[in-house]
């Protein structure tokens, strides 16, 4: 199941060049307050309507903050429950865009990301949300600088071709043709359809936050979300691989993405280096266990690994004594309060390992739909989200209820 649109690969290099230019011109963009390049607010600024079927719609993330559960997904839906999932309320949300990830930096301050390059925030524990960042505004200001420069280049080259001697004209015409293509590609890439979906958000501290998304998008705040800045040019990702997940462990930041892409930073995101990947397929989830010092990595076709040295070496979670090797793609990992692990996967399949590192066991949720993530409600009930919304699952083994936590880990 894809949660972001595709982009013609021929335009990828131009998109990266445009993004790099936009990042270089950041001071000018921040100084500009208006732009004649406007992006329609068809999805972005329409309030998500109250929908009685919201609990059955596609939901992509689920967390517990204090005694409150929160889930989000299709149509800008953000749901919350204060009674262990018995009943759900729909939050006030200023968008109908698909929302993909949610986190909290403290008990009341939360963040969510989604399509159209949106970052949302809440100050009331998720009951109401506001837009904190719109990538459309950033690109509109970038377009105001970049497109006129490209048009000027085309005009100057056109005039130069007309005045050029015959023996120079062929080379100059080729240069003019390339400039016209660059202008056409830039026009396409500044359209609303090209806005990168944001796919994960993570705060490494109350002040430092990171959002990642399609086409090598990385957006950073260092003032607790008051301002956000694209810094994609810092990532050594020349092919523009999608960035699916971000986390931190100790003093290091980690990003996982498409095509086996792994990167880390040890200086708060100023500089990034790539890591050797144990698999060349896509990674959908990376998560730290600070208590154990472990880093978990999940992806396509049952690939799941753990690192005990901050990503420099990896070991498969499924050793030779595992009775069955998983074939499904994994979307998320949940660390339960007693240290047990749950891997959430496609086709309603989830894998459970008790805290004593006994062999993994596979289970099938009755609904049979793809599960994006989940948590434990009580001693024998799991709550998952995915296709079809919220799913309560009676687990055949004892599951320790999840301890409230703002993160996806439940220590």
DSSP state of 71: E
Is 343 part of a structural domain of the chain?
A: no
pLDDT value for 17: 43
The one-character DSSP state at 14 is: H
Residue 173 shares a structural domain with residue 222 = no
Is residue 143 classed exposed, middle or buried when 0-12, 13-18 and 19+ CB atoms within 10 A define those classes?
A: buried
- The last residue of a domain, from among 282, 317, 352: 317
Residue pair 72/59 in contact by the 8 Å Cβ criterion: yes
Half-sphere exposure (CA, 13 Å, Cβ side) for 213?
A: 29
The answer to whether the CB of 315 falls within 8 A of the CB of 326 is no
**166 and 228 share one domain:** no
Q: Which residue has the tokens 């429950």?
A: 81
Q: Let me know whether 283 and 236 are in one domain.
A: yes
Q: Are both 230 and 306 inside the same structural domain? A: yes
Look at residue 374 in the predicted model and tell me its pLDDT: 95
- Domain presence at residue 62: no
Tell me the CATH number at 269.
2.40.10
pLDDT at position 406: 44
Two structure tokens written together for 94: 């200023």
What does each C-alpha distance from 288 to 60, 205, 227, 352 come to in angstroms?
20, 14, 26, 18
300 and 225 belong to one structural domain: yes
Residue 202 in any domain: the answer is no
Identify the pLDDT of residue 131. 94
pLDDT at site 15: 43
Torsion angles phi and psi, residue 201, rounded to 5: -140, 145
- Is 18 contained in some domain? no
- The answer to whether position 93 is within a domain reads no
Are 244 and 301 part of one and the same domain?
yes
Rg (Cα) of the chain, in Å, rounded? 23
The reported pLDDT for the residue numbered 347 is 86
Find the domain containing 151 and state its range.
136-190
- Is 29 part of a structural domain of the chain? no
**Could you identify the residue written with the tokens 């690969």?**
9
Pair 236, 147 in one domain: no
Domain boundary among 254, 286, 317: 317
Task: State how far the Cα of 189 lies from the Cα of 101, in Å rounded to an integer.
Answer: 24
Same domain, yes or no, for 239 and 291? yes
Q: Which residues of the chain have pLDDT under 50?
A: 1-2, 4-37, 39, 403-411
**Number of folded domains that form the chain:** 2
Show which of 190, 208, 232 is a domain's final residue. Answer: 190
Give a yes or no: residue 9 inside a domain: no
Same domain, 239 and 148: no
* Within a domain: 100: no
């Amino acid at each position: 199941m894809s949660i972001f649109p595709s982009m013609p690969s021929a335009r990828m290099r131009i998109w990266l060049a445009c993004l790099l230019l936009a990042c270089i011109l950041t001071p000018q963009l921040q100084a500009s307050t208006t732009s004649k390049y406007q992006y329609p607010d068809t999805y972005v600024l329409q309030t998500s309507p109250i929908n009685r079927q919201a609990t059955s719609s596609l939901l992509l993330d689920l967390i517990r903050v204090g005694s409150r559960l929160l889930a989000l997904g299709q149509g800008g839906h953000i749901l919350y429950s204060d009674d262990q999932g018995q009943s759900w309320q729909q939050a006030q949300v200023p968008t109908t865009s698909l929302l993909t990830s949610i986190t909290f930096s403290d008990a009341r301050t939360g963040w969510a990301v989604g399509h159209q390059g949106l970052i949302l925030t809440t100050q009331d524990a998720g009951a109401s949300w506001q837009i904190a960042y719109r990538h459309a505004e950033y690109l509109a200001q970038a377009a105001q600088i970049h497109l006129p420069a490209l048009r000027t280049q085309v005009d100057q080259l056109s005039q130069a071709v007309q005045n050029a001697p015959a023996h120079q004209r062929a080379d100059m015409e080729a240069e003019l043709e390339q400039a016209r293509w660059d202008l056409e590609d830039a026009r396409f890439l500044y359209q609303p359809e090209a806005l990168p979906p944001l796919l994960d958000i993570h705060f490494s501290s109350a002040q430092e936050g990171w959002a990642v998304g399609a086409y090598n998008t990385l957006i950073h705040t260092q003032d607790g979300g008051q301002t956000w800045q694209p810094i994609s040019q810092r990532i050594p990702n020349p092919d523009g691989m999608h960035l699916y997940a971000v986390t931190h462990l100790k003093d290091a930041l980690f990003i996982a993405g498409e095509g086996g892409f792994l990167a880390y930073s040890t200086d708060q995101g100023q500089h990034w280096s790539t890591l050797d990947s144990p698999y060349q397929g896509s990674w959908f989830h990376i998560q730290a266990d600070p208590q154990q010092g472990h880093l978990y990595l999940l992806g396509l076709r049952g690939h799941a690994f753990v690192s005990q040295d901050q990503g420099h070496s990896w070991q498969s979670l499924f050793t030779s004594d595992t009775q069955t090797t998983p074939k499904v793609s994994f979307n998320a990992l949940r660390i339960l309060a007693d240290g047990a692990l749950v891997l959430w996967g496609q086709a309603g399949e989830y894998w459970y390992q008790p805290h004593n590192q006994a062999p993994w066991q596979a289970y099938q949720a009755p609904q049979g739909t793809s599960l994006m993530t989940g948590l434990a409600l009580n001693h024998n009930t799991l709550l998952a989200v995915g296709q079809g919304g919220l799913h309560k699952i009676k687990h055949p083994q004892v599951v320790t209820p999840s301890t409230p936590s703002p993160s996806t880990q439940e220590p």
